[in-house]
Amino acid sequence: MIKCVCLVVESDDKLLLVQARNRNKYYFPGGKIDSGESLKQALRRELQEELQLDISEETFTYMGKVVGDAYPQKDKKTELNCFSTSFEIDWSSVKPAQEITDIKWIKKDETENIAPAVLTWIEYAKEARYLKW
């Protein structure tokens, strides 16, 4: 199982997702948890690495976790530990690092471009009323 952390950002009925280099699908910003890291430490590091954002761990609020199909590894599962943040981010000025090729606000009807585990989280979040979708 691949254990990951991610940041969930919703605005105007859209979700903020990123696309990693050499990938077709979009993900929540975040990534794998390194050995010895807490979930919040991993999220802070991943946001620095991917989006050059320095966000304090104290601003993260845990939203829950799901297990879904990994992408692009078809024979593995991914555990997504999702967080929101109270930190105000001007997304129009965020400059992604080299591993991220695109930052995009995804609408409800654009699900064909979303990674499978993220789709699993979206269904969980709708039931838990975390999302307006």
What confidence tier does 126 reach under pLDDT thresholds 50, 70, 90? confident
Number of structural domains found in the chain = 1
Determine the structural domain holding residue 49 and report its residue range. Answer: 2-127
Examine residue 88 and state whether it is found in any structural domain, yes or no: yes
Examine residue 133 and state whether it is found in any structural domain, yes or no: no
- Where are the extended beta strands (E) located within 70-113? 77-85, 100-106
pLDDT value of residue 90: 93
State whether the Cα torsion 7-67-3-98 is positive or negative: negative
Average pLDDT, stretch 106-130?
89
Examine residue 132 and state whether it is found in any structural domain, yes or no: no
Average pLDDT, stretch 2-30?
94
Average pLDDT, stretch 10-18?
93
* Helix (H/G/I), strand (E/B), else coil: 125: helix
Examine residue 24 and state whether it is found in any structural domain, yes or no: yes
pLDDT value of residue 133: 66
Examine residue 48 and state whether it is found in any structural domain, yes or no: yes
pTM of the model: 0.92
**CATH code for the domain of 59:** 3.90.79.10
Examine residue 75 and state whether it is found in any structural domain, yes or no: yes
pLDDT value of residue 127: 86
Q: What is the per-residue pLDDT across 17-53, written as a single tens digit (0 to 9) for each?
A: 999 988 899 999 999 999 999 999 999 999 999 999 9
Cβ(30)–Cβ(122) below 8 Å: no
Q: What is the per-residue pLDDT across 54-112, written as a single tens digit (0 to 9) for each?
A: 999 999 999 999 999 998 888 999 999 999 999 999 998 999 998 899 999 999 888 89
Mean pLDDT of the chain: 93
Other CB atoms within 10 A of residue 124 CB: 18
Cβ(65)–Cβ(128) below 8 Å: no
pLDDT value of residue 64: 94
